[in-house]
C-alpha cells in the first residue's frame, strides 16, 4: 500500500510512504523538480545498500548522476564537509535547475538540504530517507542544518524539499538500536498530538519484528506520523509558535546528546528528555502522574533506555547553546496529558531545577526497571 501525503506550505510537496519506492525516485524527481543533473548525497553505509537502484532510476529519467558519500554519523554535519560538497557542486557545474538528492538518515538529510538551500541561493532537492527517524521526522518540514562547535544545528536554513520518498523496505537493514531511535520520535508525536496513536502503540509496539510480520501496518503507522507532522508544519512552517511542540523532549535531549559527545543516538536522548520533562511536570503539579509512567513503559516496549549516564551540569551547559534558548530563558514543551502538550518559557535557573528533578526521576525509573520493584518504592 502506498500513501501520498500533501504538505501544504508555501512551496507544497508530497510525502510518499510505501514499498518499492526507491525505483520511483527518478520519475518523482522528474515530475517535481525537472533538471539535467542529479547530485546524490549519501553515506558510506547507505550508498552501497541503496545507491544503485536510486542511480538507475534517475538515469532512466535522463539525469546525469553524481554520487558523493560522506562518513556516517554526526561528524559529517560539519562546516568542513559542507564546504567540500559545495565545492563539488560547483566543480560539477550544477545549475540552479539541477537537483540534489538526500539518500540516507537525518544527518544526510540535514547536510544535503543545507547544501541545496545555499548553493546558488537555493536549488531543488528531494529527500529519500532510509531510517525510521528520518521518515517520520527529519525529512519533513524543511529544516536543514549543520553543527557548530558550540552546538547542534546552529547553522542552517528552512528549505522545503520538492518531494519525500519513504520506502519502508529500507528499514529492514537497520540495526535494532537504530530502529529504536526512530521510535522515540513516533512516541513524541503520540504524546503531543494523538492519544489514540499512543494507545495503539501500547497495544502493538512499532518494532523490527512488526516489519516482518505486518509491513502494511508499519507503513500505516509511519504515514500516520507523517500526517501529524504535516498538520503542525502546515500551520507553522517557520516554527514561530505551534511547531515548537515538535521539540518535546529536545531541549533536554539535545543537551544529553552534546554532553555525550554525540555518542548516544538522537532518539535515545530525546526519549530520556521526554521522560525527564514529563516527570518534572508531575512534580510541578501541571501533569498527571500516569503520563511519565506510560511514557516510560512505551519507551521500554520500543527498546529505548529510561536513563543515560551523563553529568547533569554538563547537560545544562550544553543546553544553553541550543537554539531553543532565548537570552535568559529556554523553550520547553510540557505534556498536559497523553495527546496534548503546551509550550512553556522557563527562566534558566528554573530550567536547571527542572533538569535536575527530571533526570533524577529518570534514574529512579531505570532503577525500578532494573530491580523490578514497585513504583511506590522508587519512582518519582
Q: What positions carry a catalytic annotation?
A: 121, 143, 185, 229, 239, 243, 247, 250, 254, 266
Cα separation, 61 vs 14, whole angstroms? 19
Cα separation, 39 vs 6, whole angstroms? 25
Q: For residue 250, what are the CA distances in angstroms to 171, 180, 220, 246, 368?
A: 24, 16, 25, 8, 24
Residue showing cell 528499514: 171
Cα separation, 110 vs 101, whole angstroms? 12
Note the maximum CA span of the chain: 66
Cα separation, 197 vs 377, whole angstroms? 30
Q: What does the radius of gyration of the chain's CA atoms come to, in whole angstroms?
A: 20
Contact yes or no for 228/243 (Cβ under 8 A)? no
Cα separation, 218 vs 115, whole angstroms? 31
Amino acid at each position: 500500500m502506498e500513501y501520498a501525503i500533501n504538505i501544504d506550505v508555501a512551496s507544497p510537496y508530497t510525502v510518499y510512504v510505501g514499498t518499492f519506492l526507491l525505483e520511483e525516485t527518478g520519475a518523482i524527481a522528474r515530475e517535481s523538480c525537472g533538471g539535467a543533473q542529479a547530485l546524490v548525497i549519501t553515506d558510506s553505509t547507505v550508498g552501497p545498500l541503496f545507491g544503485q537502484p536510486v542511480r538507475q532510476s534517475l538515469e532512466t529519467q535522463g539525469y546525469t548522476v553524481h554520487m558523493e558519500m560522506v562518513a556516517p554519523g554526526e561528524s559529517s554535519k560539519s562546516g568542513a564537509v559542507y564546504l567540500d560538497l559545495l565545492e563539488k557542486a560547483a566543480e560539477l557545474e550544477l545549475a540552479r535547475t539541477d537537483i540534489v538528492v538526500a539518500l540516507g538518515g537525518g544527518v544526510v538529510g540535514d547536510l544535503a538540504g543545507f547544501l541545496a538551500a545555499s548553493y546558488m541561493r537555493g536549488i531543488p532537492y528531494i529527500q529519500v530517507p532510509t531510517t525510521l527517524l528520518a521518515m517520520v521526522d527529519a525529512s519533513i518540514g524543511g529544516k536543514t542544518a549543520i553543527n557548530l562547535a558550540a552546538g547542534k544545528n546552529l547553522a542552517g536554513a528552512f528549505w522545503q524539499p520538492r518531494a519525500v520518498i519513504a520506502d519502508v523496505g529500507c528499514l529492514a537493514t537497520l540495526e535494532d538500536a537504530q530502529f529504536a531511535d526512530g521510535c522515540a520520535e513516533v512516541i513524541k508525536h503520540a504524546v503531543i498530538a494523538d492519544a489514540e496513536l499512543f494507545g495503539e502503540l501500547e497495544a502493538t509496539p512499532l518494532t523490527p519484528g512488526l516489519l516482518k510480520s505486518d509491513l502494511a501496518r508499519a507503513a500505516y503507522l509511519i504515514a500516520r506520523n507523517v500526517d501529524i507532522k504535516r498538520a503542525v508544519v502546515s500551520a507553522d512552517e517557520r516554527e514561530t509558535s505551534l511547531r515548537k511542540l515538535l521539540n518535546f523532549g529536545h531541549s533536554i535531549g539535545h543537551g544529553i546528546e552534546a554532553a555525550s559527545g554525540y555518542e548516544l543516538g538522537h532518539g535515545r536522548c530525546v526519549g530520556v528528555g521526554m521522560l525527564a520533562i514529563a516527570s518534572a511536570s508531575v512534580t510541578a503539579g501541571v501533569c498527571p502522574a500516569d503520563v511519565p509512567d506510560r511514557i516510560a513503559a512505551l519507551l521500554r516496549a520500543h527498546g529505548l533506555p529510561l536513563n543515560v549516564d551523563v553529568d547533569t551540569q554538563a547537560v545544562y551547559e550544553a543546553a544553553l547553546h541550543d537554539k531553543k534558548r532565548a537570552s535568559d530563558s529556554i523553550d520547553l514543551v510540557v505534556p498536559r496529558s497523553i495527546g496534548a502538550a503546551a509550550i512553556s518559557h522557563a527562566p534558566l535557573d528554573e530550567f536547571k531545577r527542572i533538569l535536575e528533578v527530571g533526570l533524577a526521576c529518570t534514574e529512579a525509573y531505570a532503577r525500578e526497571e532494573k530491580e523490578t520493584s514497585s513504583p511506590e518504592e522508587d519512582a518519582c
